[in-house]
Structure 1
C-alpha cells in the first residue's frame, strides 16, 4: 500500500545494530545510531506489528539482554518499572503509493496558492486571528521549506507549512484553519496542494497528529492520506 521509501525508512531503526527479537508481532533492537532524544523509539503499524529500538546505554540500564522472552506488552511494562516515560503517541499518515501520481498532477484549488515572504502581512493577520494553542499545535510558519494558504476573498483563512526531516526522505507538515472557516474544504485544499509540491520534489509527505485529535485524523483521511501506524519516542520528562 505504501511506497518502499516509507517502509524502508521506518524499518531502518529496528533492523540495524543488535536485533534481540524478531517475531511476527514484535521486533526489539539495540541501535547505537539513535539520537539521545530518541533513545527509545516505538512504532506500531496498522498491521499490528510493534517495533522498538533503544540506545546501547539505555538497554544496559534496563538489563535488556537479561530479560526473559519479552513481548510488546512486557517491554512497555519494563519501561514503566524503570521510570522510562514515552511521549504521547502520534498517528502517522502517508499517501498510498498508488495515489501519488494523481496527487502530483492535481492542480491546486482556485483559492489555494503557495505563500512567500511577500505574504508576511496577510500571514501575520492570520496568526493574530488564531489562538495560541492552535498555533502551538499546528506549528505552521512562513519561513518553513514550503507554505501554502487558502483564501476567503483577500483573507488568509487556512495555511499549511512543511519542512523536511534531516537526512530523511519525509517532509513533515502542519495545518491550521481559523475556526469560523473550518468544514468548508480549505484545510483539505492546502494539504493536498502542499503534498503535491512535496511529492513532485521527491519527498514523502508526512502527516502526524495525536491519537485523541479526531478532527485532524478526519482531515488526513479526507485529504487522501492513510494511517501507517503510531509512533512514540522518549519523553523529555523521563528520568532515564
Structure 2
C-alpha cells in the first residue's frame, strides 16, 4: 500500500532529529547510546512536534490592498507578478517602496503552514502593525521575518529552491523555511510574537521583462 506523506510530516521528523542532537549535545553522550531519560526526552519531542496536517495547512490569499503599485494580483489571490509600470491605486495601506504584498489572513495563535512556488522571491511573515509607507527597514527588529532568493542562487544557503514551505508556530515564536523539493530545512527564526502576523510575499522586480513569471501560492505538496 502506498503511503502518502505530507512535507509537514517530514518537517516533524527533521525537527525530532534536531531535538535529539541537541539533547545529546547537552548531556555529552555519544550518539550511539541513549539512556532511558534521553529516550523519554526524545519521545516527548516526537509527541510535541507531531503535526496534524489538517490543523496546520491553511488557505492563503493575497490582499491587493497591501500590494505595491507595480504588483498585479490574480483574481483568485493565488498569484502575483511585478509589472513594468506603477498602477493607479487608491490610498490604501499598501507598501509603496517595497515590492511585496501581504496575505488577507492573519494569525495571533496556532500553527500554520503554506507553500509557494517561485525562482526569485522574498518570503516570510510581517507584523500587522509594521510601517508600510516610505523608506522602511525590512528586518526582525522592525517586524519582518523573511528569506530571499535572487537569480536562483543568491541566498545564504546557496541552494536552488523553487518551492518553499513556510511554517509558523505563533506560541513558540518560530517561523521556519523549507526547500520542499530537496526536503531540507533552510532556516528558522526565533522571536516573540505579540501582534497579528501576516504572510509576506514578493516576486521581486520585473528586471526589464526577465522576471515576469508569477509567484504562486501552491497546494501543499505530498510525496508517495
Q: Give TM-score, length-normalised by structure 1.
A: 0.27
Q: Which structure has the highest helix share of the two?
A: 1
Q: Give TM-score, length-normalised by structure 2.
A: 0.28
